[in-house]
Chain A
Amino acid sequence: MNEIINTINLTKTYGKTKAVNNINLSVKKGEIFGFIGLNGAGKTTVIRMLLGMISPTSGECYLQGKKVNARNIDTWSDVGYIVETPYSYPELTVRENLEIVRKLRVVKDKDSINWIIKKLKLEKYELKKVKHLSLGNAQRLGIAKAIIHKPKILLLDEPTNGLDPAGIVEVLKLLKDLAKNSDVTILVSSHKLNEISRIATNIAIIHDGRLIKKIDKKELEHELKKSLIIDGKYKNEMKLILSKAEYETNTIAIENSNEKLSVLQVHNEDAVNNPEKIATLLVNNGYPPRMLKVQKEDLEEYFLRAIDEFGGGLK
């Protein structure tokens, strides 16, 4: 079984609003599938449907080839999940909460609690009541609850919320390790695009309930637009020279050392691949550049461009 998570024409309607509209997803074994979208795009609704928490209006979800249904309880033995902010029983300690999850997950190995406490670095807090935990540690506990039973599938909705930068790095490393070394299939939703881009093998963009882009990491590398950034004292003259040489040039603002800078941007492949040609051209015309930099679009820009091209952009 190669296809672990699968949705077919998945749709969820609330009144006249289509929260999720005809979504087809396919996640293969060991993949980290980044599910990105703005708040309210439909990410959580898809995850809830995959977990049988809400029923689709139409369409189907499959986990390991089995149709998702609240009655199909065997499906859940291999699934760990976080849906939005994880919550635990506030009057119980971290260890007691994990003990409850271990029993509910029917995990016989009692040592799994010590293992997960160590893995998520919760040793210092294991006897602390959950109501006294910081947001970050409550999040760590949520992740611990999701993986205590060593699931084959992880459905994680914004798993790094509330974590400090070091915590984010640790969790991303852990997810990468689970996918690479334990063949865990991970669907991770987030609006923090740069985090997702660090671990995802595939990315899907959801906007207004629709899947507007599905792309794997290699394709993404090709799709991320490159441009040549040029700065110089006489921008208008430089722009004129470049235009005459048939380079499509526009002026954009960039941030450089916390300072907003107005620079020229050229998208032509020839310019991006041969910046020295541009330098020569400008020097020969008496307008030497101060800066020449090949810049690659980041996932955030790519995402905004994707939803803009789709027709629902923010720009």
Chain B
Amino acid sequence: MNKIIICVPIEIKKFLSSKTPLITMIGLMILPFVGGFFMIILKDPVVAQKMGIISTKAQILGSNADWPSYFSLLTQGISLGGLIIFGFVTSWIFGREYSDRTIKDLLALPISRNTIVISKFIVIFLWCMFLSISVFLIGLFVGKIIGLPGWSLEFLFSSSIIFSICSLLTILLSTPVAFFASFGRGYLSPLGFMIITLILSQIVVAMGFGEFFPWSIPALASGIAGEESAALTNISLSIVFLTSIIGLISTIFWWRYADQD
């Protein structure tokens, strides 16, 4: 435990000194503003008509200009965009040690490799949670500025729970990315892995098996495929947890047992 307390601030320092926090922040903060932009279009039918293609897209994404539609949009955004952004954070935190060849300095220390891997995951979790909370809070701010109808404390409570669950599930799916960053010794393999999971998730959902494919589950839970698919089954939840645990354990095992040439 003591050694985790030593390692986490080190990982935070390394992470915050890089450009990754800024890039991922900008990448995800676009979400509430784009959502807000669609809401403005939907709110004013005259403007919507003049906007042509944009209004058509906005109609698809959210049928009404109100708080539930706006937060549904944000939740879908964090489920899909999060897979990319959280995956990017993970691939950087693990992959940079290989790309910058600093991994050698982490392998023969009086601190176990498990502690270093877990510290990295803690930083990934903290940063991704921070990003998610920021999207939520900025979403609230943008919604208030636009003056969306349908606000209530009950709504705030229910939407924050769905948003948190979807964010958490997406963050949990980052652990396999860490394994691919370690296995592939850099950024390329995890980025390739992320792209493949995104493509596969589309195909699997189209085939009707989305609730069994870990990378489709957060998006389905956000209601992207309609209200009826939004309810999470225990099986879907277990699949995400199991995937996350497999990613975590395989990363720890890789750091501990694989030859680090």
Among B18, B107, B109, B110, the residue within 8 A (CB) of A91 is B18
Q: When chains A and B are docked, how far (Å) is the Cα of A51 from the Cα of B7?
A: 21
Q: When chains A and B are docked, how far (Å) is the Cα of A103 from the Cα of B111?
A: 10
What's the minimum C-beta distance from B11 to chain A, rounded to whole angstroms? Answer: 10
A71-79, A242-250, A255-263 - the one binding chain B: A71-79
Interface residues on B, range: 20 to 34
Interface centre among B6, B108, B260 (most CB of A within 10 A): B108
Q: When chains A and B are docked, how far (Å) is the Cα of A103 from the Cα of B11?
A: 12
Residues of B within 8 A of A104 (CB): 6-7, 10, 105-106, 109, 111
Nearest CB in chain A to that of B111: its residue: A104
Residues of A within 8 A of B14 (CB): 89, 92, 100
Q: When chains A and B are docked, how far (Å) is the Cα of A221 from the Cα of B256?
A: 44
Contact B111 A106 (CB under 8 A): yes
**Is A96 on the interface with B (CB-CB < 8 A)?**
yes
What's the minimum C-beta distance from A189 to chain B, rounded to whole angstroms? Answer: 15
Contact B100 A89 (CB under 8 A): yes
**Is A52 on the interface with B (CB-CB < 8 A)?**
yes
Among A54, A79, A90, A103, the residue within 8 A (CB) of B259 is A54
Q: When chains A and B are docked, how far (Å) is the Cα of A53 from the Cα of B101?
A: 14
Residues of A within 8 A of B105 (CB): 87-88, 101, 104, 145
Residues of B within 8 A of A100 (CB): 10, 13-14
Residues of A within 8 A of B7 (CB): 104
What's the minimum C-beta distance from A296 to chain B, rounded to whole angstroms? Answer: 39
What's the minimum C-beta distance from A96 to chain B, rounded to whole angstroms? Answer: 7
Residues of B within 8 A of A77 (CB): 110
Within 8 A of B (CB), among A36-79: 48, 51-55, 70-71, 73-74, 76-77, 79
Given A54-B259, A79-B108, A104-B111, A88–B102 Cβ distance below 8 Å? yes
Contact B259 A73 (CB under 8 A): no
Residues of A within 8 A of B18 (CB): 91
Residues of A within 8 A of B10 (CB): 100, 103-104
Contact B101 A76 (CB under 8 A): no
Contact B6 A90 (CB under 8 A): no
Nearest CB in chain B to that of A54: its residue: B259
Contact B109 A76 (CB under 8 A): yes
Interface centre among A90, A92, A104 (most CB of B within 10 A): A104
Contact A71 B110 (CB under 8 A): no
**Is B261 on the interface with A (CB-CB < 8 A)?**
yes
**Is B113 on the interface with A (CB-CB < 8 A)?**
yes
Among B9, B102, B107, B261, the residue within 8 A (CB) of A52 is B107
Nearest CB in chain A to that of B3: its residue: A106
Residues of B within 8 A of A74 (CB): 110
Q: When chains A and B are docked, how far (Å) is the Cα of A8 from the Cα of B188?
A: 39
Q: When chains A and B are docked, how far (Å) is the Cα of A100 from the Cα of B10?
A: 6
Contact B113 A70 (CB under 8 A): yes
**Is B112 on the interface with A (CB-CB < 8 A)?**
yes
Residues of B within 8 A of A79 (CB): 108
Within 8 A of A (CB), among B41-91: none
Nearest CB in chain A to that of B114: its residue: A71
**Is B152 on the interface with A (CB-CB < 8 A)?**
no
**Is A81 on the interface with B (CB-CB < 8 A)?**
yes
Among A70, A92, A105, the residue within 8 A (CB) of B110 is A105
**Is A83 on the interface with B (CB-CB < 8 A)?**
yes
Contact B106 A73 (CB under 8 A): no
Contact A51 B108 (CB under 8 A): yes
Residues of A within 8 A of B144 (CB): none
Contact B102 A87 (CB under 8 A): yes
Residues of A within 8 A of B256 (CB): 70-71
Contact A103 B108 (CB under 8 A): no
Residues of B within 8 A of A55 (CB): 257, 259
Residues of B within 8 A of A48 (CB): 260-261
**Is B17 on the interface with A (CB-CB < 8 A)?**
yes
Q: When chains A and B are docked, how far (Å) is the Cα of A83 from the Cα of B104?
A: 7
26 pairs from A and B in contact (CB 8 Å cutoff): A53-B104, A53-B107, A53-B108, A53-B261, A70-B107, A73-B109, A73-B111, A76-B108, A77-B110, A81-B108, A85-B101, A87-B100, A89-B100, A91-B17, A91-B18, A92-B13, A92-B14, A96-B17, A100-B13, A101-B105, A103-B6, A103-B9, A104-B105, A104-B106, A104-B111, A106-B3
